Structure 1
């Protein structure tokens, strides 16, 4: 589904070490490592948002991709409900946890930060995609949210979706991922 060989990615200049990476359909792979090592940049390269400076990146032809970033769009004053957000990505509210399912018709700016974050994750995770890229998905989630997310990552993988997760949450990575790729600090010229 995705294969990278000696891939170096970045924005205006290289920001990652050369990395070999492969992902098969139905697999959940965690990317770990210290801040600044290039984990988020690597996800952005997989999504076609960051530049590839060297190496190769191959995506399965016709691959549908969904990306969740750490950026949280401002919603104050926007008359959008959780249901509206889900409709924009083609995700269904079916399967949302009870603590959010009964609020799906609320305006986004009336939800807590954690509720908005989980709803945005759900919208990406359940969009019609073959490959899902998640950047620090457990930020702002309580223990119940992390458990629910972990279960649904496994559900999506059983459906054949490939998933790459960037996370510093070692317990989450251990519970959610089939394998882990640890990125190490490097000097970039």
Structure 2
């Protein structure tokens, strides 16, 4: 494959102390890389290290020049009382509504705090997936999604554009097996 979008070499990452790694991998355009492993192995920490959200204790993260990253984190910010609509969220990330599933496109002008947990999760995903980015980082993207949401996401990822690379952390092994072109195992032991 031609040049990588991002490459981790001996990556050890954490917060006050190392919690994950060392790990080696590269992501190229057209690839969907899954980071798999048990709870507490540091998968989310390693994902955050790719965009600079945690401390790198060892190794390196190399990025292609001008790399644009879109990152979907786990969890929800408290949106009660914030008058932001779905369309405004997408506009903030530069995402388009093109391709948004019908069950959500009809609610795009509603305030985010009026959506169900699953609708909000999918809209947050879409804000990341449909944004202009070279590399998409997804942390537990199927959380709070119903079967229709997971099926739509799986289908979309199956037709992902060859111009992007995607890294996914998920506890849903069948989802990882279905959508990823390659899986890297993250061990459960912390580095010494």
* 1:114-133 superposed matches below 5 A: 114-133=118-137
Does residue 172 in structure 1 map to residue 175 in structure 2? yes
Partner of 2:185 in structure 1? 182
Structure 1: runs of 5+ lacking an equivalent: none
- Equivalent residue for 1:8, pick from 8, 12, 15: 12
CA RMSD of aligned residues (A): 1.1
Alignment of 1:73-152 (within 5 A): 73-152=77-156
State the 1:154 CA deviation: 2.9
Total equivalences in the alignment: 188
Q: SS in structure 2 opposite 1:100?
A: helix
Q: CA deviation at 1:3?
A: 1.0
Q: Post-superposition shift, 1:51?
A: 1.1
In structure 1, C-alpha distance between the alignment counterparts of 2:12 and 2:28, rounded to whole Å: 21
CA deviation vs aligned residue, 1:122-181 (integer Å, no higher than 9, x gap): 00111110000000000000111011111222333x341100000010111111100111
Q: Distance in 2 between matches of 1:39 and 1:146?
A: 20
- Corresponding residue number in structure 1 for 2:54: 50
- Local SS of the residue matching 1:16: strand
1:162 aligns to 2:162 (yes or no):
no
Which sits farther off after the overlay, 6-15 or 112-121?
A: 6-15
- In 2, the alpha carbon distance for the partners of 1:54 and 1:171 equals 32
Structure 1 runs (4+) greater than 3 angstroms displaced: none
TM-score (structure 1 length as normaliser): 0.96
Which of 24, 29, 32 is equivalent to 2:33? 29
Instruction: Indicate yes or no: 2:64 matched with 1:60.
Output: yes
Contact 2:22–2:191 (Cα < 8 Å) also in 1 = no
